[in-house]
Amino acid sequence: MKNLFQKRMEKHHDELRWLYMELYQNDDMFAELCSQLYEYDAQRGQQLKERDLAREKQPDWYKKNDILGMMMYIDNYAGNLKGVEEKLDYLEESQVNYIHLMPFLDTPKGRSDGGYAVSDFRKVQPQLGTMDDLESLTRACHDKGMNVCMDFVMNHTSEDHEWAVRARHGEGEYMSRYFFYKDYAIPSEYEKTVPQVFPTTAPGNFTWLEDAGHFVMTTFYPYQWDLNYGNPRVFNEMVYNFLFLANKGIDVMRIDAVPYIWKELGTKCRNLPQVHTIVRMMRMICEIVCPGVLLLGEVVMEPEKVVPYFGTVEKPECHMLYNVTTMATTWHTVATRDTRLLRLQMDIVSSLPKEYVFLNYLRCHDDIGWGLDYQWLMQFGIGEVSHKKYLNDFLTGAIPEAFGRGELYNSDPTSGDARLCGTTASLCGIEKAAYERDEAALERAVRLDLMLHAYMLTQSGIPVIYSGDEIGQENDYSYHQDPDRWSDSRYLHRGKFRWDLEPARKESGSVQQKLFDGIGKLEHIRKDSAVFHTDAQVSTVNTMDDSVLGIVRENEGCRLTALFNFSEFDKTIYLDEWNAGGTDLITGQKQEGNSVQMPGYGVCWLLKDKN
Ligand code: GLC
């Protein structure tokens, strides 16, 4: 009788071989890959195999409304991996059942890009613990019904990685795993077409290595060397690293910077067809060895570039993708009080197949890039450069009346372009109001913060809270004084978790209590009602007021009409008979008549049973 591995392999073998040969025309390396898949399957723990089997039987397990994520830095949250394990109760209290542990693999101090420059894919940063601690944590999480997500940084390695060190010493085998050039002829050709990721903090896409007498491709920081996936050895070895980590009990692999992994002279080196071949192969490899593991693609691009990473129904690629345009458009809406672009964005997302699962978020460890639909905004005479300037001025508080307290990121004086950093609370005005001891403004800011969380939770997919946001954590300015971090303003929102403020969540009337309980209540409602299922039919409604967004979700005979007031002014919204009435799930109040009164930054979730 065939075992499970053989059955899974049989299902995918032909397509896997086809794609592998298309890229690499290398039978031996394919044979090696297959025998290694067998090895990693053999090494996979029994409990994980049971988890795989259960998930295989219920392939839609992550597509409901019962997953709530939180992303966190291990050291900021609890010092080390053991600390996180000790603090799982707080996460449970926060109703979190999916934790994204920010990069924790070995990385050189001061040249780490927040851990995204990995020097050893099989070693945990010593100050955070060991691989055994990781396994113990994932086991403890699984016992509590929690999933664990980690980053798989596949586009590059640190310059301290063994391969990079050997390449630097001139070992051809290792040089061929990166992009090495003895002069600037080819790099200069690339520079003509390849855009820059960090135009101010790390300009250019190549770095000159004095000691090696070569240029090396470095799309991100100079110490992050791009891997050459044209070399099958790189693909195979990275797959083995992936499976090694999956076998430690990881449930979700965030494949970092995935659009960048294939390079081709004369192109932008983004989203090339070979990237999709590689992701499709990774998906099949997961389904062969660790079918319980999900691929989360980090594709920070415009919607038409993001969606292809789901693949097709027959040939799926990623299980989940970040809803990055909705996130950026949400902050645009905060700054403009005009929901029209957000409505358009909602309509685009809800017209996509329901199999597509998005990860929804307000803030993450990265900056907010203003990737908005400028072509659409142009009809109102809104130009890209001036609009970005406005958004940044509003959210950094450069305009006197603006409440945002963000900082710019990679501000490029030549193009006038800049991105934005800051925590949700600071961008919502909590920091400013608290500093100025302005009670009314504080009240408003908390309402805005809650309304944004409600909006995130109304979207289909998996909501992920940025650790600290649940207690309204403000910016952390200490990075300004740290020589290893001062030049990267993303550290503004990567502060230590404020355990000193956490107890205040139990003090009635405190900011922490209002947010923790407020968000908690919304999460509770979301998990309890079928209208929040991914299966629900989603559409938007015209509220006759550009500052109020209306979303309808219908499922199992129930209809939810959700209203979000993105302005500080009180509003009365008139609804047609389809949407009027019902009960506000948040206040429990019955809605009479067809007008709804909302305070500035108010939200309401009206539920009607159609039966
Ligand atoms: C991703 C990460 C970002 C990092 C980059 C390079 O975009 O989110 O923090 O700088 O990859 O690895």
User: What is the number of the ligand 1 atom nearest to the C-alpha of 364?
Assistant: 8
Nearest CA to ligand 1 atom 9: 366
User: What is the number of the ligand 1 atom nearest to the C-alpha of 300?
Assistant: 7
- Distances from the Cα of 209 to the Cαs of 70, 423, 572, 592, in angstroms? 39, 37, 64, 71
Q: How far is the CA of 547 from the centre of ligand 1 (A)?
A: 33
pLDDT of residue 50: 97
User: What is the number of the ligand 1 atom nearest to the C-alpha of 365?
Assistant: 9
Kindly tell me if the per-residue pLDDT of 17 is higher than 80. Answer: yes
Best probe residue, ligand 1, of 366, 421, 488, 491 (max atoms within 8 Å of C-beta):
366
User: Angle CA(19)–CA(21)–CA(24) in degrees, nearest 5?
Assistant: 110
User: Angle CA(127)–CA(362)–CA(352) in degrees, nearest 5?
Assistant: 120
Average pLDDT of span 56-78: 97
Pocket of ligand 1 (CB under 6 A): 113-114, 116, 153, 220, 256-257, 298, 365-366
Best probe residue, ligand 1, of 71, 104, 113 (max atoms within 8 Å of C-beta):
113
Kindly tell me if the per-residue pLDDT of 593 is higher than 90. Answer: no
Q: How far is the CA of 113 from the centre of ligand 1 (A)?
A: 7
Alpha helices (H) along 461-558: 511-528
pLDDT of residue 397: 98
Rounded to an integer, what distance in angstroms lies between the CA atom of residue 554 and that of residue 576?
A: 16
Q: How far is the CA of 259 from the centre of ligand 1 (A)?
A: 12
Best probe residue, ligand 1, of 205, 256, 261 (max atoms within 8 Å of C-beta):
256
User: What is the number of the ligand 1 atom nearest to the C-alpha of 114?
Assistant: 9
Q: How far is the CA of 378 from the centre of ligand 1 (A)?
A: 30
Q: Of 369 and 202, which is predicted with more confidence?
A: 369
Q: Is 256 a catalytic residue?
A: yes
Dihedral of the CA atoms 41, 42, 48, 51 (nearest 10)?
A: 60
- Model confidence at 2, pLDDT cuts 50, 70, 90, reads confident
Q: How far is the CA of 139 from the centre of ligand 1 (A)?
A: 27
Nearest to 94 by CA among 70, 119, 113, 127: 70
Nearest CA to ligand 1 atom 8: 366
Q: How far is the CA of 116 from the centre of ligand 1 (A)?
A: 6
Catalytic residue among 159, 160, 256, 488: 256
Q: How far is the CA of 155 from the centre of ligand 1 (A)?
A: 10
pLDDT of residue 40: 98
Instruction: Name the least confident of 80-94, 182-196, 233-247, 402-416.
Output: 402-416
pLDDT of residue 66: 95
Neighbouring C-beta atoms of residue 59, cutoff 10 Å: 11
Rounded to an integer, what distance in angstroms lies between the CA atom of residue 475 and that of residue 198?
A: 22
Kindly tell me if the per-residue pLDDT of 578 is higher than 90. Answer: no
358, β-bridge pairs? 321
Q: How far is the CA of 69 from the centre of ligand 1 (A)?
A: 19
User: What is the number of the ligand 1 atom nearest to the C-alpha of 366?
Assistant: 9
Rounded to an integer, what distance in angstroms lies between the CA atom of residue 315 and that of residue 281?
A: 10
Neighbouring C-beta atoms of residue 437, cutoff 10 Å: 8
- Distances from the Cα of 486 to the Cαs of 106, 423, 480, 489, in angstroms? 21, 17, 5, 7
Average pLDDT of span 45-57: 97
User: What is the number of the ligand 1 atom nearest to the C-alpha of 198?
Assistant: 10
Over residues 472-495, the pLDDT tens digits come to 999 999 999 999 999 999 999 999
pLDDT of residue 229: 98
Nearest CA to ligand 1 atom 11: 257
Kindly tell me if the per-residue pLDDT of 207 is higher than 70. Answer: yes
Average pLDDT of span 194-208: 91
User: What is the number of the ligand 1 atom nearest to the C-alpha of 116?
Assistant: 12
pLDDT of residue 158: 98
Kindly tell me if the per-residue pLDDT of 569 is higher than 90. Answer: yes
Q: Is 298 a catalytic residue?
A: yes
Rounded to an integer, what distance in angstroms lies between the CA atom of residue 28 and that of residue 32?
A: 6
Residue 561: its H or E element:
strand 558-565
- In Å, how far from its chain's centre is CA 347? 21
Nearest CA to ligand 1 atom 12: 116
Best probe residue, ligand 1, of 104, 105, 116 (max atoms within 8 Å of C-beta):
116
Over residues 293-323, the pLDDT tens digits come to 999 999 998 888 899 999 998 999 999 999 9
Q: How far is the CA of 256 from the centre of ligand 1 (A)?
A: 7
pLDDT of residue 1: 58
User: How is residue 260 written in tokens?
Assistant: 């960048």
Percent above pLDDT 90 for the chain: 94
Catalytic residue among 159, 298, 367, 474: 298
Best probe residue, ligand 1, of 197, 220, 224, 363 (max atoms within 8 Å of C-beta):
220
Over residues 264-301, the pLDDT tens digits come to 999 999 999 999 999 999 999 999 999 999 999 999 98
User: What is the number of the ligand 1 atom nearest to the C-alpha of 153?
Assistant: 12
pLDDT of residue 168: 98
Kindly tell me if the per-residue pLDDT of 611 is higher than 80. Answer: no
Q: How far is the CA of 339 from the centre of ligand 1 (A)?
A: 29
Kindly tell me if the per-residue pLDDT of 162 is higher than 90. Answer: yes
Over residues 31-40, the pLDDT tens digits come to 999 999 999 9
Nearest CA to ligand 1 atom 7: 257
In terms of Cβ atoms closer than 10 Å to its own Cβ (0-12, 13-18, 19+), residue 199 is: middle
Residue 603: its H or E element:
strand 603-609
Q: Of 611 and 334, which is predicted with more confidence?
A: 334
- Model confidence at 602, pLDDT cuts 50, 70, 90, reads very high
